[in-house]
Structure 1
């Protein structure tokens, strides 16, 4: 369009020049040149404007394309940022889970160490519940043997209790109590060497004598016939009563009284036997022997056997010199107290500590 307009202007100028008078030809040439220059300037300006417009249009298109590309890049960047945030959240969650797992692992390690310490403590501690029970049983049996011997002089029961105490200590796994077992063996040997009379056998023998008393007591003989009364006795009978008094005791005149007295003496001997009273025991047997010997029927074989049995019972040592007990009990208590003081106190199992990374 700019080229056609320029050509049209040139043709008009030429027509003007053609029709201009000859006198004004130089001026017209200058005007035409000016107009041509003006037209060139207008054409150049139009071309420059067109060029600027094209350039602006191309620049706008380029800017639009750049803007579209920038928007695409921004959208991609936003998507990548969101993806990166998602990955960071996942990594954070994974880090939290790993941290929790690591803390649990550390807690399990602490618990495992506490369990190992507890197992080691149990392995080092020889006095477990069964050993403590065995030691308590042995101590109780030793106390019972000592009191039984002191109260009733029952050496057989004391020896049996010592055997049970030795068996209880043998069940304990601690070899430190072997010395207590040796002391128990020594005291038991001393008891067996000074064994007193068998209380059970003596008690049974006395009870047998009491059961045989009805057969030992003889039936009294018939009284002799009385002589014919004299005259003076018949005359004084309404005023004075004369009777003869025998020199024998009530026991000799009444077998029932004799049997009861002998039974009481034998029962007293049994009580003294259980109480360990040797003087009372022998005194009761002596009274029972005298009662049997004074029976009115004389010395029958049964009475002779009963007197021999009483002599045997009286001759047996009821309470000989018994050894002093208590050394094993004292040694056991001292050893238990020493080991209880030496054993460290069991520390309570602490909760696992948390490790923070």
Structure 2
């Protein structure tokens, strides 16, 4: 009899232990597998929830940013509307103020007790006197200033007030001083300059003593070929140089006319000096040349603007009277005899 046959119980016990151990291992493996699968499921669910939460947060942030942009746009629209309303309100207020001023001006003009026509005459006289002064100072327009002074005198003559007597006398003196000027200084100087420019081509090109003295026969024979001149004579005789000098002289004359037109005394005198320097280089010494240079000296010394000490005195006195509160009395024919003597502020 063998050992296996003699000991059957221990072998069965070993097999049962083995099966129990295998079963336990299987149960543990199944439990681990289920735990790992559950953990993976929970992890995937958590990741899905986190991703969904991130998407919701991004959408929420985008919506908040959209709401902020809309809010800024609405705020800008409100500010623009407020500015437009403020501008419209200012314009309405300005229109109201202008309407009130117009009503006040119309009421002042239509009210005979204030006698607004005389105040308007004073305004017109002041404007005419200012225009006359500007014409003389800026453009040297003596004729225009005379007309403006004549209109101002006619305007002041329509105001019957003894307090304007001194003003009218000063205006008469100023008009007499302007009438004594004759033509405008610029016009007279322009005429003299044109007369001088017209005499230039007629200046003799040979010295006067050379034409007066008889020349020797050999000089008369060689005259078509050779022109004999003293060495001290600096007159330009070469045709190209002479043509260039005459062109330069015409340019200087144009510059003198332009300076005279704009009232530039320094430029006018400088142009005349350059003209005077060109004359002895283009023409020899002769009485007409000396006379022309004397004319240039006379033109250089003449003023371009009228020098009147009384110029603007009428305008200054009128402004002083108005700033001192000059009031024009209403003529007696305008109001009734029982009414008091009103006064008007112009």
Pair in the same fold by TM > 0.5: no
Q: TM-score normalized by structure 2? A: 0.44
Q: TM-score normalized by structure 1? A: 0.43
Higher CA-based Rg: 1
Higher RCO, 1 or 2 (CA under 8 Å, sep at least 6)? 2
